[in-house]
Amino acid sequence: MHSGIVSPKGIWWKPAGRQERIWVTVALVWSLIMFAMMPLWHYKGGQNPSGVRSRVTPAAYLDRVNRFVADYKVGEENGFPIVEPPPGSEVYLLGRMWQWYPALRLKQGATYMLHLSSLDVNHGFSLYPVNVNLQIVPGYDYALRVVPTRAGDYRIICNEFCGIGHHLMIGKIEVLPTQAAARLEPASTPEELHE
Amino acid sequence: MSNATAAPAWPFRTCPVTGLRVHRSVDALIKVNAVAAIVAFLVGVIAAILIVLTRWQAVHLLPAQWYYRLVTAHGLNMLIFFIIFFEMAILYFTGPVLLNSRLPTPKLGWLAWGLMVVGALTVDYYVFSGQADVMFTSYVPLMAHPGYYVGIILFAVGALIVVGLFFATLVVARREHTYEGSVPLVVFGALTAAIIAVITLVHGAAIYIPTLLWSLGYMNVDPEVYRLVFWALGHQSQQINVAAMVSVWYLMGGLTLGAMVLNEKVSRAAFGLYILFIGLASAHHLLVDPGVGPAWKVWNTSYAMYLAVLGSMIHGFTVPAGMELGMRVRGYTKGLFEWLRRAPWSDPGFSATFLSLVIFGFLGGVTGVVIGTEQINIIAHNTLRVPGHFHATVVGGTALSFMGLTYYLIPIIFRKQVRLLGWARIQPYLFAIGIVIVSMSMIFLGILGVPRRHWDISFSFAPFKQEFSPLTDVFMATLGIGGLLAATGALIYILVAVLSVFVGKPLTAADIQRGKAAVPQGILKLPPQVHGEAESAAAHRAGTPGTVVLVAIFLTVFVLYYFTNWKVLSLVWKIG
């Protein structure tokens, strides 16, 4: 036998040793298990980045966001409208240099269709502290069904470099706890609350 | 090796270490490419120090604009200029040198080097003058000065010419019968890297030429299409690094301790898996993107059922097992690990290679596969976990293995003794410890939700208050300390290389014969590269139990880390 800098002479296509055969088999099985986990999680798991993906022009998206804000605005904080959409509704959030617009108020356990897009460059939606991260690309509407499983005061950090004000870009999502949600919104169905 | 019998005529010389016939033009081209690599590396290291001292929130050195500018410069100088210049040197070494061949049309090699130098200088000019604050990724519609894209294109054209020269060398060497049988495994690995490089550079042209035209106002580029095609360049160029690094592992294993190739078929098939499947990994960057669907994501992110990962796991066995076998045949047979204990740990060529293997496998490979899983990417995308992963692969893996190779290129190609050899001996350890601390700190910070490429996570001037867990301060400090350690290791490497090359004592064949020269131990006494068929076959049948233990630990770590991440994912908001 020889090292890797020596030219093999004659036929080198020879059967592998026992240990090599075993390791290749084990590694292949592990590879297939890892491969199977992804479709399996689509079927059984609760976190998948599929969503409904479509093209949208920045102008049309801005228009939709403005209508969404006008429909469900409940207050204002630091110059940002606070918008409280009803459970089950379509929620429109936009990223632009350098803000997330508007601030959202959601209910724990309710399902929302969260639309994300950008008016200018790529942005990164990073929800703190649950660490959910999604890419926001201008010209594309990324709509994901989300269920805030825990109440609390969340932040949206931008984690895609978007210019000199990148580190100023922070948004807010407030998730009201189930009891408060139930008190404020008696019309909510039990299914929605316990999903 | 056995071909170099009689003293070769000008313009060839005989390498006193390996006995190989070396063409003078190849000597020169390896030298200039290696020197350019180290200059780019120095720029990258200085940027790294300033970046680390800025992200360390307690120090927070640079203003925002310079922080982002230097992140751009760091990425380009390290990931593109340093690595690719060094890989050009590797292609010249594994092509003409290892095949005993001349280099066809060396003039083209000089043209290529010139294009690459002009390209790199152009890019750095636009970056440092503030006309290209777009990061390494330059995602459209973030726009740089058109000259920036021109610089990248020039650099890529130069690299493509060198790859072409490598292919031409294979043809010439075969036709002129400079070697018998098949090309050595190390050359086969370099060929793999070269083939991947062609695919990569074609994608580079397919994205940078339209982007240049877009920056000049002639056409539109869709931001999502840009991301897709850019990463067929950006990620795939990392796969050139992987293939080149694995070749260097086989090369250095042979030179430092006489590592054997267990089975040519197995190792070459593993390289074949890289060629076939590794290019799909552009998808790793688009897992939480709106432009592509789940089936595309699953198939591509897994390199088609993880077949390229399988390739790496095969090398992860055959490289250490080859080392173990080489040592066992030489008599280090006691217990599971005598072969490893008695390995030349004071030879920086060996220590760098073995540390690179461990860091790449355990830290870089495992974390990469995990965050590249479609759904797990939700809790990792664009957080510091991502640079945590690739600093383990490309710095702790590729760059460290290239450092080990450098300590052998200095005597073999530059024909100089190694200055500050004592420092060179500790350098790989210092660098490895530093980069492991860097990488693990980044991974923990990413798990805590800290974004990458971010000037100020205290959000001092932002509209809403944001406070990270106090643990982030701890890991930011360890990131700073690890970064400074790694930078110290990097600067020692640069110092040793520069002093040896420019003011080093010449190394003669007589020095080597007398066994008295300041060079790594494999240079003074090259371990046997060929072993008797009977004894090595018997040792191979007896197996490599030490490596079996190592890969069993590796697989256990892999499985645990993988499923822990699924568990963590299941705890976040429902999303789909």
Q: What is the pLDDT of residues B132-172, one digit of tens each?
A: 999 999 999 999 999 999 999 999 999 999 999 999 999 99
Q: Read off the pLDDT of each residue in B210-236 and give the average, rounded to a whole number.
A: 95
**What residues of A are in contact with residue B250 (Cβ under 8 Å)?**
3-4
Chain B hits for A4, Cβ within 8 Å: 184-186, 189, 247, 250-251, 253-254, 259, 261, 267, 322
Between strands A52-55 and A73-77, the pairing is: unpaired
Please check the confidence at residue A193 and state whether its pLDDT lies above 80. Answer: no
Query: What's the pLDDT at A181?
Result: 47
Q: pLDDT tens digits for B338-354?
A: 999 999 999 999 999 99
Name which of B2, B225, B317, B464 to mutate to probe chain A: the one with the most chain A Cβ atoms within 10 A of its Cβ: B464
pLDDT in tens, A118-167: 999 999 999 999 999 999 999 999 999 999 999 999 999 999 999 999 99
CA-to-CA dists, residue B226 to A163, B206, B378, angstroms? 18, 10, 21
Query: Tokens 């079927």 map to which residue?
Result: A43
Nearest-neighbour CA in chain B from A187: distance (Å): 22
Measured CA to CA, the distance from residue B308 to residue B499 in angstroms comes to 40
Q: Do B464 and A155 form a contact (C-beta atoms < 8 A)?
A: yes
Q: What is the pLDDT of residues A14-67, one digit of tens each?
A: 999 999 999 999 999 999 999 999 999 999 999 999 999 999 999 999 999 999
CB nearest to A49's CB, from B261, B378, B453? B378
Please tell me which of the candidates A42, A53, A132 has its beta carbon nearest to residue B573. Answer: A132
**Coil, strand or helix at B171:** helix
Mutate to test the interface with B, among A133, A146, A170, A193 (most CBs of B within 10 A): A133
In this prediction, residues B261-283 reach a mean pLDDT of: 93
Record: contact A19-B321, CB cut-off 8 A: yes
More confident residue, B17 or B365: B365
Q: What percent of chain B has pLDDT over 70?
A: 99
Percent of chain B scoring above 90 in pLDDT: 89
Q: For residues B66-93, give the mean pLDDT.
A: 96
CB spacing of A35 vs B302 below 8 angstroms? yes
Residues of A in contact with B575 (CB under 8 A): 46-49, 132, 144-147
Rounded CA separation A126/B447 (Å): 12
Going from the C-alpha of B218 to that of each of B146, B210, B211, B214, the distances in angstroms are 12, 9, 10, 5
- Residue entry with tokens 């207050």: A75
Residue found by looking up tokens 């073995």 in the block: B354
- Nearest chain A residue (CA) to B130: A164
Q: Are A69 and A100 spatial neighbours (Cβ–Cβ below 8 Å)?
A: no
Q: Give the span between the Cα atoms of A130 and A109, in whole angstroms.
A: 15
Q: Which of A18, A55, A131, A175 to mutate to test the interface with B (most CBs of B within 10 A)?
A: A131
Which chain A residues contact residue B369 at CB under 8 A? 34
The reply to whether residue A4 touches residue B250, judged by beta carbons under 8 angstroms, is yes
Long-range contacts of B424-427 (CB under 8 A, 24+ apart): B424/B348, B424/B492, B424/B493, B424/B496, B424/B520, B425/B346, B425/B347, B425/B348, B425/B351, B426/B492, B427/B348, B427/B403, B427/B489, B427/B492, B427/B493, B427/B496
**Distance to chain A for B58, nearest Cα, Å:** 17
Q: What ipTM goes with this model?
A: 0.93
Chain A contacts of B251, Cβ < 8 Å? 4-5
A79–B291 C-beta distance less than 8 A: no
Instruction: Give the model's pLDDT for residue A190.
Output: 39
Q: Name the phi and psi angles at A149, rounded to 5.
A: -85, -15
Burial of B147 by CB count in 10 Å (0-12 exposed, 13-18 middle, 19+ buried)? middle
pLDDT of residue A180: 54
pLDDT at B9 over 80: no
| Closest in B373, B530, B569 to A2, CB measured | B530
Give buried/exposed letters for B210-249 (b at 16+ CB in 10 A, else e).
Answer: bbbebbeeeeebbbbebbbbbbbbbbbbbbbbbbbbbbbb
What is the pLDDT confidence band of residue A75, given thresholds at 50, 70 and 90?
Answer: very high
3-state secondary structure of B575: strand
Q: What is residue B365's DSSP assignment?
A: I
Q: Do B258 and A142 touch (CB under 8 A)?
A: no
> Considering only CA atoms, which of B362, B341, B358, B335 is closest in space to residue B257?
B341
Cite the beta strand spans of chain A per DSSP E.
52-55, 73-77, 80-83, 90-96, 99-101, 103-107, 112-118, 123-128, 132-136, 140-147, 152-158, 170-176
For residue B174, give both structure tokens: 């075969």
Residues B208-236, mean pLDDT to the nearest whole number = 95
The β-bridge partners of A124 are: A135
Whole-number pLDDT of residue B515: 84
Q: Which of A16, A161, A163 shows the shortest C-beta gap to B266?
A: A16
Cβ <8 Å between B382 and A32: no
What pLDDT score was predicted for residue B20?
86
Cβ–Cβ < 8 Å for B247, B186? yes
For the CA atoms of B109, B112, B116, B122, the dihedral, rounded to the nearest 10 degrees, stands at 140
Q: Please tell me which residue, A1 or A187, carries the higher pLDDT value.
A: A1
- Peptide bond before A98: cis, by omega within 30 degrees of 0? yes
Q: What is the SS3 assignment for A75?
A: strand
Beta pairing partners, A29: none
Average pLDDT value over all residues in chain B: 94
| Out of A12, A35, A78, closest to residue B306 by CB | A35
pLDDT of residue B18: 83
Q: Test B258 with A170 for CB contact under 8 angstroms.
A: no
pLDDT bin (cut points 50, 70, 90) of residue B15 is confident
The minimum CA-CA distance between A64 and chain B, rounded to whole Å, is 18
* Partner-chain residue, chosen from A2, A30, A31, that has the shortest CB–CB distance to B260: A2
Rounded to an integer, the average pLDDT of B68-87 is: 96
Residues of B in contact with A38 (CB under 8 A): 298, 301-302, 373-375
For the record, the structure tokens of B315 come out as 């090398």
Question: First vs last Cα of chain A: how many Å apart?
Answer: 63
Dihedral of CA atoms B368, B551, B436, B124 in degrees, nearest 10, equals -50
- For the stretch B175-201, pLDDT in tens is 999 999 999 999 999 999 999 999 999
For B464-487, the pLDDT digits (tens) are 989 999 999 999 999 999 999 999
DSSP state of A103: E
How does residue B6 score in pLDDT terms, banded at 50, 70 and 90?
A: low
Q: Are A132 and A116 in contact (CB under 8 A)?
A: no
Inter-residue contact A150 to B571 (CB < 8 Å): no
In terms of pTM, does the model score above 0.90? yes
How far apart are alpha carbons B565 and B559 in whole angstroms? 10
CA–chain centroid gap for A67, Å, is: 23
Would you state the pLDDT for residue A155? Answer: 96
| Confidence band, pLDDT 50/70/90 cuts, at residue B2 | very low
C-alpha to C-alpha distance for B53 and B73, rounded to whole angstroms: 16
Of A13, A126, A170, the CB nearest to B382: A126
Given a cut of 60, is residue A191 above it in pLDDT? no
Q: What is the pLDDT of residues B484-526, one digit of tens each?
A: 999 999 999 999 999 999 999 999 888 988 888 999 999 999 9
């390739």: which residue's tokens? B311
> Could you tell me which of B80, B75, B46, B38 has the C-alpha nearest to residue B403?
B38
- Nearest CA to B258 out of B327, B189, B319, B318 is that of B327
Q: Tell me if B480 sits within 8 A of B442, measured CB to CB.
A: no
For residues B374 and A38, is the Cβ–Cβ distance under 8 A?
yes
**A2 with B298: Cβ contact below 8 A:** no
Taking the Cβ of residue A11 and every Cβ of chain B, the question of whether any pair is shorter than 8 Å is answered with: no
Average pLDDT for residues B2-13, to the nearest whole number?
64
C-alpha radius of gyration, chain A, whole number: 24
Residues paired with A191 in a beta bridge:
none
- Strand order in A132-136's β-sheet? A73-77, A80-83, A103-107, A170-176, A152-158, A123-128, A132-136
Whether residue A184 has pLDDT greater than 80: no
List the 106-145 stretch of A: residues with Cβ below 8 A of B.
116-117, 120-122, 124, 126-142, 144-145
Q: Inform me whether the C-beta atom of residue A40 falls under 8 Å from chain B C-beta atoms.
A: no
User: Within an 8 Å CB–CB cutoff, is residue A29 touching chain B?
Assistant: no
**DSSP E strands: which ranges in B133-237?**
none
Question: Which of residues A195 and B500 earns the better pLDDT score?
Answer: B500
Asked if A179 has any chain B CB less than 8 Å from its own CB, the reply is no
Residue B574 — φ and ψ, nearest 5°?
-70, 135
Nearest to A134 by CA among B77, B159, B380: B380
Q: Which residue has the tokens 């998206």?
A: A61
The residue type found at B99 is L
* Contact A16/B at CB under 8 A: yes
Q: Are strands A123-128 and A99-101 parallel, antiparallel or unpaired?
A: unpaired
| CB-based contact B529 A5, cutoff 8 Å | yes
For B503-508, the CB contacts below 8 A with 24+ separation are B503/B419, B504/B410, B504/B414, B504/B416, B504/B417, B504/B418, B504/B419, B505/B416, B505/B417, B505/B419, B506/B415, B506/B416, B506/B417, B507/B411, B507/B415, B507/B416, B507/B417, B508/B16, B508/B415
User: Chain centroid to CA A96: how far?
Assistant: 17
Q: Which residue has the higher pLDDT, A84 or A192?
A: A84
- Residues from chain B that touch A161, judged by Cβ atoms under 8 A, are 68, 71, 135, 137, 142, 453
**C-alpha span between B164 and B561 (Å, rounded):** 41
Quick one: pLDDT at residue B282? 84
Residues paired with residue A114 on neighbouring β-strands, in sequence order: A91, A144
Sign of CA dihedral B307, B308, B312, B315: positive
